Structure 1
Amino acid sequence: MYLYGSTVAEAAQGVGDAGFIGVAERRFRQVFGVAPSPEEVRSWQHSWPALLQILRSAGLGAVHLLLEYSLPATGERVDALLVGRDTSGQLCTIAIELKQWTHAQLSPARPGMVRVGGRVVQHPARQVGGYVHYLQQWVSRDGFPLTVRGAAVLHDAPAELVAELRGRASGGPAGAYPVLGRDDLTPVPSAQALAQRLGCADLSPVSWDDVEGFLQVEHRPSPALLQRAGEVIEGRDAFTLIGDQDLARQEVLHAVEEAARTRGKKSIVVVTGGPGTGKTVIACRLLGDLCRQPGANPRLLSPSGTLTRQLRRTVGDVFSGLITTFLNKVPAGITDNSVVLLDEAHRARTYPDHQQGAFPVILGKVIDQAAVTVLFLDERQIVRPTEGLTLKQLEQHASRIGSSFAHIDLVSQFRCNGSRAYQQWVDRLFQPEGTALAWRGCDYDLAAAADPEQLDRWVAVHANRGHTARLTAGFCWPWDSPPTPPLLPEVVITWHGTDGPGSWARPWNCRADEPGFDHPDVPARPFWATDVGGHDQVGCIYTAQGMEYAYNAVIMGDDLVRRGERWIAQPDASHDTQLRDLPPQRYLHYALNTYRTLATRGSRGTRLYSTDAVTQLFLQTLLPPDGALTRNSLPR
């Protein structure tokens, strides 16, 4: 998809028309489904005329140009893409990233990032490098060879800024892509010299039919990219499978083989299991297996952007198109030979419009397009009304569309020190009603904290010893901090203890997707659970779900309280706008699932505390106090 396409000369003539930008805005809504932001429109108004003047000055008027060209497997758009033919006669594209910068701040601590105004963004050469890599690995292939180049065009940037950006990019992969500023973008000493700086000196025009051929090429990963991904995943110890994890893997691979033999028949495989049974590990290992099969076209999807970014970091950003967030559209390039692995499938209904009938619409389209769809599911981790995919729904959908169906249930527990006793205890604790049992296990470090300060000290001790230790809470406090640090201490708790009244406060985790430029010690939201400094903020269900850390402290807010042998929901104590207006009985379901999920993040130990005095007393009757030297406490 693209916003506008023509020759450079035609575009240069059209951009001077007063209605050109208005037409672009309307087409943007048609092509991308949303309106462009005012900032984006202002960028077009300023950058498009400048770019077209530069290209015409370089003698490139007859070359074809695509504005806002979409890279569908990534969600990214290239500002401008030139399409021509190189001296060998091969189709050639030049990806151009446009910037209006006149100044920017760089930091040695963040070599790949740049701060411009209040935003932290990628170094433009790195950004262009990503576009080039995508086109090389997802479009160029046998039968459609493609030369790909790129350049960053900063048409207002002074020489000092350009020199600084070039210096930061030199020595790394981004150094292969020129960064051109104001002084580089004039036809000096000649138009040919300017074209040379842009990487276009050898570019000859092509017909629009050639451009159409390029636009119609299916975007799918190249065999070389798949081979590399398979090798990387196989080499990661984090993706080693044990016991019934490997059995589940073999069952899925068998379903893939069956689908290949019975071409055209769809297969749905559902892998269920509680927290820590290894669903994500299996999904990643399967992706590695599938990448190494001839003719493979696999994808690993997750509704969680946090999990997606963690997985990309583990295997490398170059494989981002293979591992992507599943929200409101079908990922690019899924065909009738694709195997789609959907982790955390219970969260697949991220938006209400995903369901317009008996089954989520977008997920239904994925299943229709793929040969095999493998869904990893834990129904007791459904924490929002817009979620809720269940095993029963999937089985009914398979029957309705005539697909084969298989179900694999994982039993072995690999989180929480492998303690099935703890998993069973947590499952029973967070039932709506019934007698809760005192903890008698000796294979997991579990206790009740007396107050938040004790929780905080416990987390800090383990963090100082080099372990991952995190503190989470129910969404029972406001979250008004700015997106970037410094963060406000919003989780505020007061209590009356044996030593008198106490007060404690901490910030929620950072909401930004990238670390603050001046605060690299405050992790961005996707990396709160893993990066140094995360123990100083409080995480919530939306940042902790899907994650794991060694030591786990949980604050239960007043939205879920214990009265007798029943849990009582108090939605008015919640600050979660998606939940607080629900009736109590419906809210109860999500609150129980939320706290069960939070209580199962720790691989070695957990501490629980409630802000409600009655509930806190209830927890203290079930659990030993923190620090008690009993057989229930493992050595630290």
Structure 2
Amino acid sequence: MLHMYRVLNDQSIPDDAGVAIEYKIPYTSKRVDFLLSGHDGDVDSVVIVELKQWSEVEKVEGKEAIVKTALNRGIHEVAHPSYQAWSYAALIEDYNENVQEQLIKLKPCAYLHNYRKLQNYPLTDSYYDYYLSLAPVYAKGDVENLRTFIKKYIKYGDNKDILYQIEQGRIRPSKSLQDSLGSMLKGNQEFVMIDEQKVIFETALQLAKRAIKTGTEQVMIVEGGPGTGKSVLAINSLVALTNKSMTCQYVTKNSAPRNVYSTKLKGDFRKTRIVTHLRNLEVTQNLNLMN
């Protein structure tokens, strides 16, 4: 927090702006590092700052919004900080009724206070332009630039009122898989994947492409308890691979999901198309059980 104290030590940033640390995102175990609330004279705003202690970052080719960095005594693939900050903002917008109805604007960014900019700066490589446009990233020496970003949206304080509204906002039911599957098959993004989900999703796409290119089978096993996002990951993978003209199947030993998906999808697709597909899934499942 010392680094954020230095950033906020500016007379142009109102003293009565709201500050929150480690806000827990509903329905997840994730916490937003730093939030600053206020308004620009017209719009209520909250600046979201994802803080990173990283000192080195490597670009990862072939995976969207993924980088490598040193974590837990090793080099690991993780979500790009801009993607991470943006995904946190998107989840809050999706789940918080007050944010939606009061038109509170969430402005995400990332601050890597230990990361020095180099000539070849992988963190802001053009490969990541899309998410950088959604959530800019700042490094060591960027204090003034980060201040400018904050002051653009927080010109007047709110005495924490906006943060209180977010904290007290009614949590709307999360988007259900069955209600969103049809929309996803039409190409709409319905579920925002965060952190590990995003890394695993990109790895799954990479393995599928490798299998087609090399003609060799690829297997990935994802483990996790209830509520960790396995179904969201599976549906995202199904849609993404189908949209890449790959043959995909969603197989489950439980008939309930098939029946629910069939009912929901019949409103958007021909009945014979859906029922035939689901029958294929059931046959595949039965063969797998016999084997």
TM bin, normalised by shorter chain, reads 0.5 to 0.7
Q: Which residue of 2 aligns with 1:141?
A: 100
CA distance in 2, matches of 1:162, 1:201: 30
Q: Which residue of 2 aligns with 1:98?
A: 51
Among residues 226, 235, 240, which one is paired with 1:311 in the alignment? 235
Does structure 1 retain, via aligned residues, the 8 Å contact 2:56–2:115? yes
Paired residue secondary structure (2:3): helix
Q: Percent identity?
A: 19
Unmatched runs of 5 consecutive residues or more in structure 2:
188-224, 241-251, 259-277
CA distance in 1, matches of 2:132, 2:239: 20
Q: Which residue of 2 aligns with 1:52?
A: 5
Counterparts in 2 of 1:213 and 1:159: CA distance versus 1, 3 Å: same
Counterparts in 2 of 1:413 and 1:179: CA distance versus 1, 3 Å: closer
Unmatched runs of 5 consecutive residues or more in structure 1:
1-47, 188-192, 237-300, 317-342, 346-373, 378-411, 424-443, 445-598, 607-636
- The one-letter code matched in structure 1 to 2:35 is L
Q: Which residue of 2 aligns with 1:126?
A: 83
Q: Which residue of 1 aligns with 2:197?
A: none
CA distance in 1, matches of 2:39, 2:120: 29
Does structure 2 retain, via aligned residues, the 8 Å contact 1:83–1:211? yes
Residue pairs, 1:473-552, within 5 angstroms: none
CA distance in 2, matches of 1:111, 1:173: 10
> Is structure 2 residue 131 aligned with structure 1 residue 207?
no
Cα deviation code 1:84-124 (max 9, x no counterpart): 12221x32111111011221221223342111122221100
Counterparts in 2 of 1:123 and 1:414: CA distance versus 1, 3 Å: same
Residue pairs, 1:446-485, within 5 angstroms: none
Shift of 1:184: 1.1
Shift of 1:231: 4.6
Shift of 1:161: 7.7
Q: RMSD across aligned C-alpha pairs, in angstroms?
A: 3.9
Paired residue secondary structure (2:7): helix
Counterparts in 2 of 1:115 and 1:102: CA distance versus 1, 3 Å: same
Q: Which residue of 2 aligns with 1:164?
A: 122
Counterparts in 2 of 1:162 and 1:210: CA distance versus 1, 3 Å: farther
Shift of 1:200: 4.1
TM-score by length of 1: 0.30
TM-score by length of 2: 0.61
Does structure 2 retain, via aligned residues, the 8 Å contact 1:84–1:205? yes
CA distance in 2, matches of 1:302, 1:77: 19
Cα deviation code 1:531-586 (max 9, x no counterpart): xxxxxxxxxxxxxxxxxxxxxxxxxxxxxxxxxxxxxxxxxxxxxxxxxxxxxxxx
Does structure 2 retain, via aligned residues, the 8 Å contact 1:58–1:194? no
- The one-letter code matched in structure 1 to 2:100 is R
Q: Which residue of 1 aligns with 2:172?
A: 220
CA distance in 1, matches of 2:121, 2:33: 23
Structure with larger RCO (C-alpha < 8 A, sep 6+): 2
CA distance in 2, matches of 1:150, 1:304: 24
Counterparts in 2 of 1:176 and 1:235: CA distance versus 1, 3 Å: closer
Cα deviation code 1:164-185 (max 9, x no counterpart): 2112454424433211111211
**Which has the greater radius of gyration?**
1
Counterparts in 2 of 1:344 and 1:153: CA distance versus 1, 3 Å: farther
Residue pairs, 1:317-328, within 5 angstroms: none
Among residues 87, 108, 113, which one is paired with 1:155 in the alignment? 113
Cα deviation code 1:148-173 (max 9, x no counterpart): 10111011111118932112454424
Does structure 2 retain, via aligned residues, the 8 Å contact 1:104–1:116? yes
The structure whose residues are more often helix, as a share, is 2
Counterparts in 2 of 1:120 and 1:182: CA distance versus 1, 3 Å: same
Does structure 2 retain, via aligned residues, the 8 Å contact 1:86–1:204? yes
Among residues 159, 170, 183, which one is paired with 1:232 in the alignment? 183
CA distance in 2, matches of 1:162, 1:148: 30
Shift of 1:309: 1.8
Q: How many matched pairs?
A: 217
CA distance in 1, matches of 2:62, 2:95: 32
Counterparts in 2 of 1:230 and 1:99: CA distance versus 1, 3 Å: same
